[in-house]
Each structure stands twice: as C-alpha cells, then as structure tokens.
C-alpha cells in the first residue's frame, strides 16, 4: 500500500470512463476533474459530468434478479452503453485518461462480465485500468455532489447497509447489517406482495407506504451499532401471507390492515433503526453532517426522518437524487479518477473481481485530512 | 492438460495478432471456479503458415479439459460468453470505428 505522501500535481483536466455492473444496474459514466488549485484555500472546481447512462435489468413481479441472467443483461448492453456515453460526452477515446470499473463488492458473474469489457477497452485505447470499490464510489460521488466535506455516511442499498465515518485515510465501518441489507429486505417484501420491480421495488414500496395509515408493530432489532433485518422480514412476510390467505388483521380502530399499512410500517421501523445507529455514530465522531448514499438513499421518507434527527443535533442531511444514489457509472469514474490522480493503477493480473470487498480495505490516498 | 477425459480445443481467428492478444489478456486473469474439475489453457499464435484465409491475422487457441461433459459444456459456454464481450468491444469500440 502506498505511504502518505504529497499528491502528484496534475496541471490539466483529467477524464475517466467508469463502468458499473455489480448488481442489476449497468452504468457507464464519463467524468472530468479540474486541476487542484495551487493554494489550499481555493476550492477545487466541481467535477463535470459528461455522461451518465444506466440500463437496469428488471425482473417480473415476484422475482428477484439472478447472477446468471444479470450477467447476460450486462454482456448484452455494455458495448452499446459505452458507445452511447462517448456520444453523449462528445469525446473520443483520445480524451480519456483511464478506464475505471467496479471490482467489488457485488455479484460475481455480473462484475466479471463488466470487468472483461473494461479490460478490453483499456487495452484497445491504451489507457490504464483502475479497479474501484463500489462503496467508495457511492461515498465519493455523494461528497462531490452534495459538498458534504466530512460526513457520517449511511450507505443503504440492495446489497449493503453500513454506517461509515472517515478517519486516517480509511472509510471506517461503525455499524452494519448483521444479515441482509435494508434494500434486500424491501426488495424481498416487494416480491411477497407481488408488486412490480419497475422502476425499482423500493420505489413502489415507498409509493404504497405513503397511503398507509396504520402502524403494525414489528420487531425492532438494533444490536449495538449494528442492525438485523432478516427477522423483521420473516415477521412481516408472515403477516402479509396471513392477510393474503383470508385471515385479515385489524388495527386498533377496527379497520383491516392493508398492504399499504404494511409497507408504511416496514419503512418506519427499519428507517428508525437506521436513524438510531447513524445518530450514535454522529455523536461518537462529533460530526454534524449525514450523507445518505446507495439506492435506498433515494427514499424521501428516509431522508425526512434522518433530517429530523440531524436538525435536532444542529446538523443537516445530505442526499442525492436517483441519478447518483442508484448504482451508476459516474461514481465509479469519479472514485477511480481520484485514485488515478494519486498514481493508482490496476494491473491486468490484479483486475480480478471480488464479491467481498470491504469499504475499509481501500487506502484513501486522495484525502489528507 | 490431459488430467480429465473430456477435451475440447477451439481456435478463434482475429484480424490481427494484437486483437487476439487483447482477447487473451482480457479473459485470462479470471480464475476458474472449480480448477480440479475444469481447466482452460489459452494461447495466442500468429497465423504464419496458416492455410486458412480467415486466420491470416492472429489466433486465440483455447484448450479445455473437464471431468465431465456437463462441466465441459458449462465451462466452454462461460468462455464463449466472455469472448463475446471482447469481440463486441473490438468490433464497436475500436478507435477508428467510433
């Protein structure tokens, strides 16, 4: 691992192509960074997004996405998306400095399919390859877009649930899920309800939850700084199955519990758990900022609940919209380009993807605070 | 290479040796999931001496060795799927073609 040293100064803008395919979204992005100002007091010009294209593999209601089929989707679309991204950006391969790709964590076969495309493009265009940790991509993109300089990060998606804070050139994990991710819990409940996966199961749950009126008590499973989701899912699946098999449940006011009520109750419960562990991390590190990243981070109710907590502490919540929250290629280009600017490269032999790749394994050479 | 009794050898022609080398480099880093049951050995040769007009450029040679027909089929399919991505990139993302 590189030791802490002065960052090399690059006096011209740099451009990266980023390829993301760790789950059911295939994303291709092109980003431009401007040179660091010579004075430390000057702000760096914000990164410029030249293209950010995504194609999602959507399965029928009641079905999740399987690695094999997802990989096939990515293989079918990756060339077209790269072509479209270049066209959108108006650039040619000559303008690109490096080719970045998600090296993990995620599903093995989809990751590998996209890595093969990244390797091929890197060799064809004779540009260095940069492997990127998916979680670091989310964090750095969130910081870039929102301007939150040193936030506690809540990273919530279909595959990951982590509370993260930066310290000494690592993004350190303060708390995480002990079993399934928050998004996985929502996605699987959407399958139980047989609601569409288009545009995403979580979005459809959010819409239903807005119509929910009765809160159904669910297990609340915060364990220290960690959370557990699988018991909650099993419990609410049981309630839903009861309702669907003609055994209605009744609220205190005598009304029948609906699936809208269940979506509402599920969101309220698991988001309250996330707010609790995030607040504890903020108190621990003395931060006033919360940055929410990952696909579940689009959820407006989660943003609202987190905002209430943050305001009570005199702080604020920072979130992005679906272009940057949901998996995308631009965040991989961005985090990859930050690493590239510090001299980081990924050789072909080290470009194998890994399904398990923890956030705190990455040395954050580009931050010196 | 002849650890198991099921074998297959594919020779894939490319228009240049450089392209065959790119395919080799793009596919070779990934390890086989079950190396005790399936091995895949790739090599690149230039086509000097090839009589076939198709292989006037470079050739990617892939030799597979598997413990059963099923493992062979699955493994070779995986290789061809990866190769498809490489060929798609070579065809559509070439400097000149863009």
Report the top-level CATH class of A14-142+325-361: alpha beta
B-chain residues within 8 Å CB-CB of A19? none
| Single pTM value for the model | 0.95
pLDDT band for A5, please (50, 70, 90 cuts): low
Q: Is residue A171 a known part of a binding site?
A: no
For residue A39, pLDDT over 90 is answered with: no
Topology annotation, domain A150-322:
Nucleotidyltransferase; domain 5 (3.30.420)
For residue A128, pLDDT over 60 is answered with: yes
Residue B3: per-residue pLDDT? 78
B49 interface with A at CB cutoff 8 Å: no
For A201-218, what is the mean pLDDT? Answer: 97
Q: Using 50 as the pLDDT threshold, list the residues of chain B that sit under it.
A: 55
A82 interface with B at CB cutoff 8 Å: yes
pLDDT band for A44, please (50, 70, 90 cuts): confident
A83 interface with B at CB cutoff 8 Å: yes
Tell me which of B14, B85, B86 to substitute to probe the interface with A (most A C-beta atoms closer than 10 Å): B85
pLDDT > 70 fraction of chain A, expressed in percent and rounded: 97
B-chain residues within 8 Å CB-CB of A351? 29
Total H helices, total E strands in chain A: 10, 12
**Domain extents in chain A:** 14-142+325-361, 150-322
Residue A145: per-residue pLDDT? 97
B-chain residues within 8 Å CB-CB of A86? 98
Per CATH, A14-142+325-361 and A150-322 having the same topology is answered yes
Residue A132: per-residue pLDDT? 98
Residue A258: per-residue pLDDT? 97
Q: Is residue A157 a known part of a binding site?
A: yes
Residue B57: per-residue pLDDT? 84
pLDDT band for A54, please (50, 70, 90 cuts): very high
Q: Which two tokens stand for residue A259?
A: 């699936």
Subunit contact B29:A349, Cβ cutoff 8 A: yes
Q: Which two tokens stand for residue B23?
A: 């395919």
**Which domains, and CATH codes, for chain B?**
6-89 (3.30.310.50)
Q: Which of B28, B82, B89 sits opposite A124 (nearest CB)?
A: B89
Strand order in the sheet with A316-319: A170-176, A161-167, A152-156, A289-293, A316-319
Subunit contact B81:A113, Cβ cutoff 8 A: yes
Look over chain A and give the mean of its residue pLDDT values, rounded to a whole number.
Answer: 95
DSSP string, A309-355: HHHHTT-EEEE--HHHHS--HHHHHHHHHHHHHTT----GGG----S
Separation between Cα atoms, residue A142 and residue A144, nearest integer Å: 5
Separation between Cα atoms, residue A286 and residue A293, nearest integer Å: 20
């Amino acid at each position: 691992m590189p030791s802490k040293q002065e960052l090399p100064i690059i006096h011209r803008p740099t451009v990266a192509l980023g390829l993301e395919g760790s789950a059911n979204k295939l994303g291709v992005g092109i980003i431009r960074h401007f040179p660091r100002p010579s004075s430390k007091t000057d702000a760096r010009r914000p990164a410029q997004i030249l293209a950010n294209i995504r194609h999602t593999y959507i399965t029928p209601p009641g079905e999740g996405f399987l690695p094999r089929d997802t990989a096939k989707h990515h293989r079918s679309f990756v060339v077209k998306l790269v072509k479209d991204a270049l066209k959108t950006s108006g650039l040619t391969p000559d303008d690109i400095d490096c080719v970045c790709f998600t090296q993990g964590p995620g599903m093995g076969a989809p990751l590998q399919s996209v890595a093969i495309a990244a390797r091929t493009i890197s060799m064809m265009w004779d540009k260095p390859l940069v492997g990127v940790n998916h979680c670091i991509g989310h964090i750095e993109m969130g910081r870039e877009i929102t301007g939150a300089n040193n936030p506690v990060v809540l990273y919530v998606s279909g595959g990951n649930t982590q509370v993260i804070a930066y310290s000494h050139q690592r993004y350190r994990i303060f708390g995480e899920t002990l079993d399934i991710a928050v998004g996985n819990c929502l996605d699987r409940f959407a399958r139980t309800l047989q609601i569409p996966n288009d545009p995403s199961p979580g979005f459809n749950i959010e819409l239903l939850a807005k119509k929910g009126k009765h809160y159904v008590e669910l297990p609340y499973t915060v364990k220290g700084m960690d959370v557990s989701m699988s018991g909650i899912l099993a419990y609410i699946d049981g309630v839903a199955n009861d309702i669907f098999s003609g055994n209605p449940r009744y609220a205190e006011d005598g009304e029948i519990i609906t699936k809208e009520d269940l979506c509402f109750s599920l969101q309220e419960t698991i988001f309250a758990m996330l707010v609790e562990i995030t607040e504890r991390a903020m108190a621990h590190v003395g931060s006033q900022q919360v940055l929410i990243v990952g696909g579940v981070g689009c959820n407006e109710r989660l943003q609202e609940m987190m905002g209430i907590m943050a305001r009570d502490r005199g702080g604020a919540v920072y979130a992005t919209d679906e272009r940057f929250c949901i998996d995308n290629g631009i965040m991989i280009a961005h985090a990859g380009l930050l690493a590239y600017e510090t001299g980081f490269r990924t050789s072909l032999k080290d470009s194998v993807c890994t399904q398990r790749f923890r956030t705190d394994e990455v040395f954050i050479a580009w931050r010196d605070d | 290479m002849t650890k198991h009794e099921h074998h297959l050898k594919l020779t894939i022609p490319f228009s240049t040796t450089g392209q065959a080398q790119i395919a080799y480099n793009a596919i070779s880093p990934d390890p086989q999931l079950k190396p005790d049951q399936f091995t895949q050995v790739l090599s690149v040769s230039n086509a000097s001496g090839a009589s076939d007009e198709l292989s006037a450029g470079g050739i990617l040679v892939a030799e597979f060795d598997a413990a059963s027909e099923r493992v062979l089929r699955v493994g070779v399919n995986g290789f061809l799927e990866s190769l498809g991505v490489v060929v798609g990139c070579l065809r559509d993302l070439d400097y000149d073609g863009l």
